Homo-oligomer: A and B are copies of this chain.
Amino acid sequence: MTIGNILVGQSGGPTAVINNSLYGIIKEGEEQGVKNVYGAVHGIEGILNENIINLSKVPEELIEGLRYTPGAALGGCRYKLATKLEDQQKEIKKIFALCERYNIKYFFYIGGNDSMDTADRVNRQAKEMSYDLKVIGVPKTVDNDLVLTDHCPGFGSAAKYVATSVREAGLHNRSMYTSEPVTVLETVGRNTGWLPAASALARQYEDAAPHLICLPENPFVADKFLAEVEKTYARIGGVFIVMGEGLKDAQGNYVNMQGDQLGIDSFGHPTLEGISETIKKLIETRLKFKTRIIKLDICQQSASHFASQIDAMDAEETGRAAVQAAIGGKSGYMVSLGKQQGNTVSNTGLVELNKVANAERMLPDKYIKDNFVTINFLNYVRPLIQGEIEVPLKDGLPNYIHLEY
């Protein structure tokens, strides 16, 4: 019996370990006897334009390089299937036609909650049209905001990098309290506070950074915030603040009024980056404290030079589990991860795509306390940042691979 081929796409913003999931899919496919693993260039966009590459023909050293290389090796995308049913069906037919031509029986989409929506639509249309295609979503997001999974591949590495940066910049900041007392570090994470919360791992001793963590789950009230900054300054002479990009005020409006010149992204989300500039202005105007801002932005999603080994292992495992599920006949699921038990790969499970698509998991109240996090949260996140990916170095820099496409 010959089983069909695999098609895999990467969607949304990459993570430091998104290619480990791709690696897991390629390797598991190979081990299961799949002849060709095709990669869609820029996710769904590549499928619609028939821009795909045969990963089974790519030299082995490049495939091995996926285990430590950041960026989506196949290209990511923010393409959303047409919302008008008629147009969407045209797109779906294009997808199935391509699958037909390449004898593709298994489709894997590595992404976050928007991407799970795309996978869900492809799966539902396949069922409706009785088209033989197994669709499995592979989780990926530094935001850690996918529901029905203990954690998401990508988050651990981002958490490790952000916590490291806060610890280092915090020591720097402390030494400059007399001239530059305040630092604001802005993290990604949209509407949820998992990543800014993880910066709490940086605190190595009493009064070390971070001092205040502003989470999107808590309404941001300027006067209350400024009072906290003043109080902390009075106590220790400086303040290191970490904040999520998606802070909202008590009315539920985004605090960041600067925004972007281009407005809304293709999934309809407002583009949020920029909160740190707003807060810098607020602090400097109202409190007259010289304030530095740090915006690591996409470095949070790509710092493979100090990525989490556990996270990389989990990412690969979700890819492998997806292949096993699909070849076992499952479709319409996302691979989920169970609690990280410490230095071994997490258990995987399957959750229905339509329960994950477009849903956001907020940081629960039990993890939040007094502009900081609880011990329980630290115990949750600490296992996810353990170990480091081994990255080959050349001439003093990480020696990454890239696929031509």
Contacts and interface: CB of A to CB of B under 8 A. Distances in A.
A71 B201 CA distance: 18
Contacts of A129: none
Nearest to A174: B71
A8 B271 CA distance: 48
Interface in A156-189: 160, 163-165, 167-180, 183
A382 B400 contact: no
Contact of A382 (B260, B284, B395): B395
A144 interface: no
Interface in A271-321: 271, 273-274, 277, 280-281, 284-285, 288, 290, 292-299, 301-306, 308
A140 to B, nearest CB: 12
Given A284-B262, A395-B382, A167 B76 contact: no
Given A71-B171, A179-B77, A293 B273 contact: yes
B168 A305 contact: yes
A364 interface: no
A387 B396 contact: yes
Contacts of A242: none
Nearest to A309: B396
Size range of the chain A interface in the assembly = 35 or more
B303 A168 contact: yes
A385 to B, nearest CB: 4
Given A261-B285, A284-B262, A302 B397 contact: no
Nearest to A72: B175
Nearest to A282: B261
Interface string A198-242: 000110110010000000000000000000000000000000000
A337 to B, nearest CB: 18
Given A169-B299, A202-B397, A273-B292, A176 B76 contact: yes
B298 A296 contact: no
Contact of A294 (B78, B164, B171, B298): B298
A402 B45 contact: no
Interface in A65-94: 69-79
A265 interface: yes
Given A164-B397, A167-B397, 13 more contacts: A74-B175, A163-B397, A164-B305, A171-B402, A172-B302, A261-B280, A261-B281, A262-B290, A292-B297, A293-B295, A382-B395, A385-B397, A386-B396
25 contacts: A13-B172, A14-B172, A45-B178, A71-B168, A71-B171, A72-B176, A75-B175, A75-B178, A76-B176, A163-B397, A165-B303, A168-B400, A172-B302, A204-B400, A204-B402, A261-B280, A262-B288, A265-B290, A292-B297, A294-B295, A294-B296, A294-B297, A295-B297, A305-B306, A386-B395
